[in-house]
Structure 1
């Protein structure tokens, strides 16, 4: 685990093949199953993530964000069975979709440790957030390290329940 001024990273080895973990991570409809923060409710999108540049929409809830809200997530990293990441941006109050992310990223890296084991690294990185007002408003890290650890626990459970 690492934690500095601009990111938090947690790592865990799971007794699950990388392919199965990647399958869960790339299906937005399953993201609520491994959200350790409890903010993800469900996804508007049922299509699997297949490449960088795609976008998927999530329905969220967080009291600090005013309750229910939606995020548009821009896929920033994709390497089959090895890596997937996205940068979110909340939808405007009038329902207008954002045209670009606001700078923080969720990145999952998978390193196979053999046929049935994978080292999973989750990084929550806000180093691209340059808007001082946003930095102060959100109070990064908005999601604590314990929630990231829980996300990895829940990911292992989600991948083994199939």
Structure 2
């Protein structure tokens, strides 16, 4: 685990191949099952992630946004079985600077080191930084997300 003033990184080894882990991560329909923050409610619109430049829309909830809201997720990184990343923005707006990055390192045919980074270093709007109170998602919630990913991939 690494923490700085503008990002948090957590990691976990999952006893599954990197392609099995990537299969779950690249399917936005599965993200509600993985979310350790409690903000993600459902997928509104989107297909399996297959390339950078795609977008998917999630239904969310949180007091920081006054209850129910939607976000556009702009896929910024895609390397099958190795990396997937997206920047999140309130529905219909450009991403204001935070990104979710998933890195997968194969540890053999049945083990993968998964690293998740929540990076808000690109947020420059001081009003937004104050309103959201970064980090909005805490280290423990990110660790819970990795545990949920482990369960989704391995069934245990």
TM-score band (shorter)? over 0.9
- 1:59 paired with 2:59, answer yes
Q: For each residue in 1:99-123, what CA deviation from the matched residue of structure 2 results, as whole angstroms up to 9, or x when unmatched?
A: x211100110000000000000000
Tell me the TM-score normalized by structure 2: 0.97
**Deviation of 1:38 (Å):** 1.1
Distance 2:29 2:143 in 1: 21
1:31-46 matches, within 5 Å, as 31-46=31-46
1:145-160 matches, within 5 Å, as 145-160=139-154
Count of residue pairs the alignment pairs up: 156
Distance 2:39 2:75 in 1: 19
1:1-162 matches, within 5 Å, as 1-91=1-91, 97-98=92-93, 100-161=94-155
4+ residue segments displaced more than 3 Å:
none
Q: For each residue in 1:52-100, what CA deviation from the matched residue of structure 2 results, as whole angstroms up to 9, or x when unmatched?
A: 1111000011122211100000001100000001011012xxxxx22x2
Q: CA RMSD in A?
A: 1.2
Distance 2:96 2:128 in 1: 9
Which consecutive residues of structure 1, in runs of 5 or more, have no partner in the other structure?
92-96
Residues 70 and 90 in structure 2, CA contact (< 8 A), matched pair in contact too = yes
Tell me the TM-score normalized by structure 1: 0.93
Residues 9 and 121 in structure 1, CA contact (< 8 A), matched pair in contact too = yes
